[in-house]
Structure 1
Amino acid sequence: MPHRLLALGFLLALPAAAEEGMWTYDAFPREAVKKAHGFAPTQEWLDHVRLSSVRLAGGCSASFVSPEGLVMTNHHCIRSCVQDLSSPRNDYLAKGFFAKQAKDELRCPKVEANQLVEMTDVTARLEGVTKGKSGADFNTALKAEMSRIESECATGPELRCDVVTLFNGGRYQLYKYRRYQDVRLVFAPEFSMAAFGGDADNFNFPRYGFDAAFLRVWDASGQPLKTEHSLAWAKDGAKEGDLVFVSGHPGGTERQSTVAELEFQRDVALPYILLNLSEMRGMLREYASGSPERWRTTRSELRAVENGLKALRGRHQALAEPALLADKRRAEATLREQGGVDEALASTASALDGWRPLLAAHRLKEGGDGFNSELFAMARRLVRAAEELPKPNAERLREYTDAQLPGLRQGLLRAAPIPADLERVKLTFGFNKLRETLGADDAFVQTVLGREAPEDLARALVKGTKLFDVKERQRLLDGGAAAIAASKDPMILLARRVDAPSREVRKRYEDTVESVLKKNGEVLARARLAAYGTTGYPDATFTLRLSYGTVQGWREPDGRSVAPLTTFAGAYARHTGKEPFRLPDTWMKAQGKVPGDTPLDVATTNDIIGGNSGSPLVDREGRVVGLIFDGNLPSLGGRFSYVPETHRAVGVHGEGLLLGLERVYGAERLVKELRAQQR
């Protein structure tokens, strides 16, 4: 496959500590790894691991693990697919899924897989169109040129092209991906085993989860994809002290954010989100307790909310520690010695101060918190597509550009069930949040509710809409503005009614906050170059990164030592027979078939963050030795800094994963495929 890797020439972050860093593939610190571990990955090694890595467009990582398009990821990354394919009769979330033959593999309606094939530096081109501009003019010019670059690159639906921002605006690169939309489910364990220990064990260690799943990419001719690059499985599992690498797509870090940005997160954004998630968790729990069917259709979303709540609580606790912001202030004080920094920092702080009272309105109107509904989200996309698509590509909202259309169509035209009762309850929740946050007399609230009660309006919308039907969504998408204008669908009418004020608050944010942060990001990036030179790595941006570390435990503040490996025997010892510590029947029947000392889960020092879920853990030979699915509690502060003493990545151990497939699940076809290139 064609690719081009460009050395950046310089990196704009603070020097990294040993094993810290989510490194781009074109700037991986090979010499540092060699100095620390006696091994330097070759360019061939880097290319192979990169081309074997996969991004799941919904927010996770994965990897090719056979030449037949087999993809390994986490169960929680494709849980929505398992839910979509389930029914009251075949509850695959509860009992698991395994396709014994290729014909039994079921297509995941929402899953898109991306393989990074080329990276090109486009910094000069973007700096050329934004030079001398500021505010809204800067942002408009920047986004328009990004859209042009992406459109030039995406010459067919099989390609996805994204201009990504690195170093907070110090560098821009065009990432070209091979896009795969025919992705089918091969294997998934029981939900209870993938998430063994539930919320109680989430982000903790020791862990005993089997959070793994396998998909397969099929090509346009309806055959399993032939892949030139795939990761072989290691015959010998990773041991304590072994050097390991994680190749994946960390979603986002803020290690180079200003103190003002971090304080905004601590004081404004995170408290708002945490309160909203807490209330949503209570709402979902109450709804799910109403019947077994409600539980079946809600548990996946409830788990996601609980996970987000715990992760963001840990992030907020990290920002509340005085030492973290004290370190950031000291670094910022040093940076102020560079020209232009004082003005950029003051401008950023001023923009965020102005945004503080408006954040909730933005999230409720434009962010979707006030319209917590899959049906409404589709209605909004249809309404906006009708308005945006006739415009020149460079003038559209970014999510409606030519490069984004394949993903837009897949999202709108997927044949996946939408539980009507759950939609009604979630919409009611959103409408109530709108009214209690903005006030009953607010003009936007009046536009939404009029004289209706939230629950009555939600019920009428869900009962009256035809958007459950894929053919109706297809008709409205293809019919464009005329079809939308003629539609009497109540969900479409609501989306039209609230579109102008929602766009207005979005534009205000983009013009007065986003543009300021981006412009100042360039200034600060240049200052870091002058101050610290060429060592470092960019903040995570859901782009492919490689980290290195070792299999290693840690010591708790109370002096307790935590070992880096758990075993099958430990899982059985943790079994209580009651959720969330109840092992599934498959595991109870298989007790003794896997030696008790076989490693099940593993902890490593690799620097990861959300989005790395599903990343392969590979050894110095580039062989699979594990599958990342989590971090420990201290690692939740990794959004802002990396602490090598306590931050740990958590994964399913490769040896335990393969033996579990073979001896617990009897997944012989899958195991044979994995063992075929084991070495």
Structure 2
Amino acid sequence: MKRLFVIATLLGAAPALADEGMWTYNNFPAAKVKEKYGFEPTQEWLDKVRLSSVRLAGGCSASFVSPDGLVMTNHHCARGCIEQLSTAKKDYIANGFYAKTQAEEKQCPAMEINQLESITDVTDTLGKATQGMSGKQYADTLKAKMSELEQACSAGDAKVRCDVVTLYQGGKYNLYKYRRFQDVRLVMAPEHAIAFFGGDPDNFEFPRYDLDVSFVRVYQDGKPANTKDTYFKWSEHGAKEGELTFVSGNPGRTSRGLSISELEFQRDVVLPKTLIYLSEMRGMVTEFQRRGPEQKRISNNMLFGVENAIKAMKGRHEALVDKNFFAQKVAAEQELRKKVDANPEMKKKYGAAWDEIAKAEEQLAHVRKELGYMEQGQGLSATTFQIARTLVRAAEELPKENGQRLREFNQAGLPALKAQLFSPAPIYPELEIARLTFGLTKMREELGADHPFVKKVLGKDSPATLATRVVKGTKLIDVKARQALFDGGKAAVDASKDPMIALAKLVDPDARAVRKNVEENIEAVVRKNSELIAKAKFEVYGTNQYPDATFSPRVSYGSVKGYMEDGKQVAPITQMAGTFERHTGEDPFALPKSWLKAQNILDGKTGMNFVTTNDIIGGNSGSPMINKDGEIVGLVFDGNIQSLGGEYGFDESVNRTVAVHSDAIIEALQKIYGATRVLEELRPGSTKVPPVKANPAG
């Protein structure tokens, strides 16, 4: 995989070049966009885009596309909801879903949508609170102050979510205030066969031919939310080659600002181990699917996620093992350290930061396995166990002062935690047993049969025996049982005979101890010294930089543009006719019957998918692609294979965002699905024209 990264972009060492950067809304390079593209976004324009864009709390992006709360996102972002609403008799993943009336819209069991209402810089407040501190004192004080700010911001309102967002590895902190929508209902989703056409072979590739789209609606007080002032209108004509484009979304995470010691740990330890774990998990899920059609249905979403993660991790690893690329990362860090060392005052303040992080990474290497298998869910991986742990910890944490709790139990985050805990999303015991058996087997393999924690968990049982016993014996699949334990607090949890609760209580002291050690002696050191490095960068290179992604709202800019691959020019836009040319009749290149039936009436020249130079990363899935007028021209759903190294750097010559063309969405809604109700919301008045009907003989 060819990568030619510009050295200045690698560590935020200088103002970003080209169309690089996932920028915050309060630090967007509008003048730079004007210089290159002749259009300067105003703050008013940016505010409208921010309010029209939303975040799926589970890990994707989306946008309002009508005045009545209609939200557009990817099919793969709504898969959880679609699968949870499906049954063996009504498989909406395989067959698609369309609510012909508002009354037929189905509530998603576990989906939450967040709209960013305001941003407040709280860097000075946190800096003063932690000044001169280190280690446990620094970690405790920072955690407590963050919780205090978040609680004051949300003010006990369950419809508000507030997060202190760490930017520039701690160089800045912003307080983000979100409006929460928890009544989210499925409106339309196509069949999986077209939403993920090409399957894993085409994943992170281009040319592509996917209709990776779905529509949901947010409700307030039982009625569609009023979003008449905060939605994107649909463009009359979709994206054109060379057109300026903006992506507004929530990139999950980038690591462009990490130190070399942190990157080495990722390259040599984390990524290789994660790839092995995921590959073995793929084997487990694949075997589970062979048990029968129902087993395949209930585990399809898990397999999709695992396969997607494997491909993404491979791309990241390939970037870090590229010698030329890594040498540039090293050179960028050395250049900054040289400038710091040349200034006595700066050297005194910042000079030791890199070495302190390196020492912390060495400590992390020694406890990585225990952290993963005891605390982070690699071993105790079942949904019912995670529910049990939440209940056990809630009983311990909630009586404490807000600032003393584990971060996930702070007052501002409780509404979101409870929404997940009491979600009616279905849990399948057979799949739970398979997952937990796999996790426990890996735990014994990685930690060793003689490890005290392994002995404590398994006792005389095999992984399969223990998993079967606790899953079959638990009542936590019942939401009412969870609610009773949560409401009953510590007394109810202590008295519970539920085997999954008993398992969670058994392991919690060990898991907490590992977590406490990592937070106070490793993460606190990394955070504090990363903050110092960020300040050093500000002093040397200025503040005209973008921060690493943190699954918080960002906006990027670029243009519709092809690229060279293996000496050949890749055109930027595919056409709908190419979808049928790619059809083989065998998965994953088998089009659904609805598409084959409509082939003769579709305009084959309609844009299907396209690529742009916008800088994105995982989490941007579902982001709106808009033009300078703030109109929808596409829907982001992927990056090309070269973009997977975007975790660590950006190369405009080959890194590309992949999007569904807005014209393809309209063509499909009108001619394939007859989704006139959705079409009318996107383009009012468009349904006055008699709909074209598919020719059954087509």
Same fold (TM over 0.5): yes
Cross-structure match for 1:256? 257
Q: TM-score, normalised by structure 1?
A: 0.97
- The reply on whether 1:641 has 2:649 as its aligned counterpart is yes
| Residue equivalent to 2:443 | 434
CA contact (8 A) 2:370 2:447 kept: yes
Residue 376 (structure 1) aligned with residue 385 (structure 2): yes
Contiguous gaps of at least 5 residues in structure 1: 1-10
Offset, 1:394: 0.5
Amino acid corresponding to residue 122 of structure 1 in structure 2? V
Instruction: Specify the alignment match of 1:243 in structure 2.
Output: 244
8 Å Cα contact 2:245-2:625 kept in structure 1: yes
Kept in 2: contact 1:12–1:170 (CA 8 A)? no
Q: What is the match of residue 27 of structure 1?
A: 27
Aligned: 1:78 with 2:87: no
Q: Deviations along 1:10-59, whole A, 9 cap, x unmatched?
A: x9753101100001011111110101011111222111111000010001
1:258-277 matches, cutoff 5 A: 258-277=259-278
Deviation at 1:220, TM superposition (A): 2.3
Asked if 2 retains the 8 angstrom alpha-carbon contact of 1:12 and 1:529, the reply is no
Amino acid corresponding to residue 241 of structure 1 in structure 2: G
Q: Which amino acid aligns with 1:229?
A: T
Alignment-derived partner of residue 3 in structure 1: none
**Contact conserved, 1:168 with 1:521, CA < 8 A, in 2?**
yes
* Structure-1 residue corresponding to 2:634: 626
Pick the aligned partner of 1:674 from 659, 674, 682: 682
Q: Report what 2:571 is aligned to.
A: 563
* Secondary structure of 2:162's aligned partner: strand
1:655 maps onto 2:656 in alignment: no
1:585-614 per-residue CA deviation (whole Å, 9 max, x = no partner) reads: 110011022211110101000000000000
The residue aligned with 1:316 is 317
Residue by residue over 1:48-79, the C-alpha shift from the partner in whole angstroms, topping out at 9 and shown as x without a partner, is 11100001000100000001000000011110
Secondary structure of residue in 1 paired with 2:177: strand
3-state SS of the aligned residue for 2:75?
coil
In 2, distance between residues paired with 1:592 and 1:41? 42
CA separation of 1:390 and 1:677: change in aligned 2, threshold 3 A: farther
Post-superposition, which runs of at least 4 consecutive aligned residues in structure 1 deviate over 3 A? 221-227
Distance 1:363 1:609, change over 3 A: same
Q: Pairwise mapping of residues 196-595 of structure 1 onto structure 2 (< 5 A)?
A: 196-336=197-337, 337-338=339-340, 339=347, 340-556=349-565, 558-595=566-603
Shift of 1:271: 1.2
1:123 corresponds in structure 2 to: 123
**CA distance in 2: counterparts of 1:419 and 1:359, whole angstroms:** 30
| 8 A contact 1:204–1:632 mirrored in 2 | yes
SS of match in other structure, 1:379: helix
Q: State the Cα distance separating 1:526 from its structure 2 match.
A: 1.2
The 2-side partners of 1:142 and 1:216 are apart by 37
- Identify which range, 13-22 or 501-510, moves more after superposition: 13-22
Instruction: Give identity over the alignment, percent.
Output: 52
Q: Which moved more, 1:327-336 or 1:468-477?
A: 327-336
Are 2:180 and 1:179 equivalent residues in the alignment?
yes
Aligned twin of 2:37: 37
CA distance in 2 between partners of 1:484 and 1:60 (Å): 34
**Alpha-carbon deviations, 1:193-242, whole Å to 9, x = none?**
11110000000000001100001000024444444210000001111111
How many Å separate the matches in 1 of 2:324 and 2:227? 51
Separation in 2 of the partners of 1:341 and 1:576? 60
1:139 matched to 2:139? The reply is yes
What are structure 2's unaligned runs of at least 5 residues? 1-10, 341-346, 687-698
8 Å Cα contact 1:12-1:534 kept in structure 2: no
Answer yes or no: is the 8 Å Cα contact 1:12–1:533 preserved in 2.
no
Distance 1:377 1:580 in 2: 33
Aligned-pair RMSD on alpha carbons? 1.1
User: Partner of 1:661: helix, strand, or coil?
Assistant: helix
Query: Post-superposition shift, 1:677?
Result: 8.5
Report Cα offsets for 1:482-533 as digits up to 9, x if no partner: 0000000000000000000001111111112110111001111111011111
| Alignment of structure 1 residues 141-160 onto 2, 5 Å | 141-155=141-155, 156-160=157-161
Q: Give the letter aligned to residue 486 of structure 1.
A: A
Which stretch shows the higher mean deviation, 53-62 or 214-223? 214-223
| Residues 380, 492 of structure 1: 8 Å contact kept | yes
C-alpha separation between the residues in 2 aligned to 1:219 and 1:627?
A: 26
Tell me the distance in 2 between the aligned counterparts of 1:158 and 1:531. Answer: 42
SS of residue matched to 2:352: helix
Deviations 1:154-212 (CA, angstroms, capped at 9, x unpaired): 12001000000011101001000001100110011111211110000000000001100
Any conservation in 1 of the 2:22–2:547 contact (CA below 8 Å)? yes
Mapped contact 2:24–2:554 kept (Cα < 8 A)? yes
Counterpart CA distance in 2 for 1:114 and 1:296 is 29
Letter in 1 for 2:554: R
AA paired with 1:293?
E
Map Cα deviations across residues 105-151 of structure 1 (whole Å, 9 max, x no partner): 11111110000000001111101111010111111110110000000
Q: Work out whether residues 64 and 227 of structure 2, in 8 Å CA contact, stay in contact via their aligned partners in 1.
A: no
| SS of equivalent to 2:266 | helix
In 1: Cα distance, 2:439 partner to 2:633 partner = 44
C-alpha distance in 1 between matches for 2:360 and 2:657: 35
1:8 counterpart residue number: none
Q: Are the counterparts in 1 of residues 254 and 548 from structure 2 also a CA contact under 8 Å? A: yes
**Paired letter, 1:669:** R
Shift of the 31–226 alpha-carbon distance from structure 1 to 2, 3 Å rule, reads closer
The separation in 1 between residues aligned to 2:600 and 2:117, in whole angstroms, is 44
In the alignment, the residues of structure 1 paired with residue 664 and residue 13 of structure 2 have an alpha-carbon distance, to the nearest angstrom, of 38
